[in-house]
Amino acid sequence: MLFGKKLKLMKKPDEDAERRLREELEKEGGLEKNDLPALIISAILVIVPIALIALLLVCLVGWIFFI
């Protein structure tokens, strides 16, 4: 198998740890009303410019080679 050793190192998700994390989050006050849209907007503001720069670089390299 190609990645056999790495697959053995991976663990299955620990349901107890996830449950404890969710309980701690709820104990601290949980998510507020507009937290999810704020998280999505901030992710878009971080990812989109990087993706545009990468696309621009790919187009620039293609333009240089084909002119």
pLDDT tens sequence for the chain (67 residues): 577 777 777 777 788 888 998 888 888 887 788 888 999 999 999 999 999 999 999 999 999 998 8
Residue 43 lies in a domain: yes
- Has residue 38 been placed in a domain? yes
Number of domains in the chain: 1
CA distance 48 to 41: 10
Does 45 reside within a domain? yes
- Checking 52-57 for CB contacts under 8 A at 24+ apart, the result is none
51 assigned to some structural domain: yes
Residue 41 in domain: yes
What is the predicted pLDDT for the residue at 33? 83
Interatomic CA distance for residues 11 and 28, integer angstroms: 28
What is the domain extent for residue 47? 34-58
